[in-house]
């Protein structure tokens, strides 16, 4: 008598889109999913610690990158898993879109996610990737050094938290961000940067620290010329850009809580001119209290 086909397994391997939330999911299991022949999109949220030493992350059937048809991978993690991620991405030979969400650590002994390690892990997909997104959901990120994406020549769209793009001193001081353009993909067309809590597009941390005691003086100060160069350079040296969005998140300090909602503002004159000359559209969503000299757009 013929054996009945395993319809459940057949259905699984034919799936094109899978989303899984499982804190116990291992990277070996993620690798097995990636090798489903019809799978094009995979979203995984896991907090599993690194595989045991000597354990091969990739199953034997998935060691050949050509076996994967995955085009979009969304990964939510909370700890540094550089080795495992590098092995997983090496099997994603057709990957076009990578979204990485860093959530709060489940264990205080876990190492923070490293921007530099992410850059290296993605190198195996540098020829196929066209879209990248890096988000921090109260996550702990080691930004020394920051993301280095200049070798990703085919990436057209990048969305990232400022925690990935700027090293610690650059996050605190906008005047140190000059040259950001050189770390970005050379053919970039769309760029979105979200400034995390207590980081600012055009204000240094030193300018804000005294705001609780002397908020009028700290907030009403004009934007320093050196603090906008990094953004002007994007228009000047990344001429493939057609759209840039800069957005500030709400701050944690008491003086900022009532003013955390960002609204659309005109760009500083130097930035406005650079983007006009480059024919690049720019949207600035800033905390109104910090930039009284910039015209605010009504919603």
Q: pTM for the full model?
A: 0.84
How buried is residue 55: exposed, middle or buried, by Cβ count under 10 Å (0-12/13-18/19+)?
Answer: exposed
Q: Where are the domains of the chain?
A: 14-50+57-142, 144-299
Residue 104: the pLDDT is: 67
Residue 59: the pLDDT is: 47
Q: Does pLDDT of 295 surpass 90?
A: no
What does pLDDT average to over the chain? 81
Distance CA 14, CA 141 (A): 36
> Can you say whether the dihedral through the CA atoms of 180, 162, 141, 83 is positive or negative?
negative
Residue 255: the pLDDT is: 44
Residue 107: the pLDDT is: 59
Q: Which of 48-57, 116-125, 287-296 has the highest mean pLDDT?
A: 116-125
Tens-place pLDDT, residues 146-178: 899 999 999 999 999 999 999 989 999 999 999
């Amino acid at each position: 008598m013929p054996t009945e086909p395993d319809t459940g397994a057949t259905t699984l391997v034919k799936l094109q889109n899978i989303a899984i939330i499982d804190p116990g999911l291992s990277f070996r299991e993620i690798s097995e999913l990636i090798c489903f022949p019809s799978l094009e999109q995979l979203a995984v949220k896991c907090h599993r610690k690194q595989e045991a030493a000597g354990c091969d992350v990739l199953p034997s059937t998935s060691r050949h990158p050509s076996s994967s048809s995955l085009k979009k991978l969304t990964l939510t993690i909370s700890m540094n898993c550089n080795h495992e991620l590098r092995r997983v991405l090496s099997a994603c030979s057709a990957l076009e879109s990578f979204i990485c969400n860093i959530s709060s650590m489940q264990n205080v002994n876990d190492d923070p996610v490293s921007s530099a390690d992410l850059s290296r892990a993605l190198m195996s997909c540098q020829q196929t990737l066209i879209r990248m997104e890096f988000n921090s959901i109260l996550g702990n990120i080691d930004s020394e050094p920051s993301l280095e994406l200049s070798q990703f020549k085919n990436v057209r769209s990048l969305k990232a938290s400022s925690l990935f793009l700027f090293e610690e001193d650059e996050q605190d001081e906008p005047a140190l961000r000059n040259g950001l353009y050189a770390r970005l993909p050379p053919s970039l067309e769309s760029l979105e940067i979200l400034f995390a809590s207590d980081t600012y597009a055009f204000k240094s941390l030193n300018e804000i620290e005294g705001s609780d005691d002397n908020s009028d003086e700290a907030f009403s100060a004009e934007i320093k010329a050196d603090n906008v160069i990094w953004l002007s350079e994007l228009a000047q040296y990344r001429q493939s850009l057609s759209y840039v969005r800069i957005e500030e998140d709400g701050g944690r300090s008491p003086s900022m809580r009532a003013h955390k909602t960002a609204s659309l503002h005109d760009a500083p004159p130097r930035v406005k001119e650079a983007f006009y000359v480059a024919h690049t559209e720019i949207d600035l969503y800033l905390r109104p209290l910090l930039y009284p000299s910039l015209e605010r757009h009504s919603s």
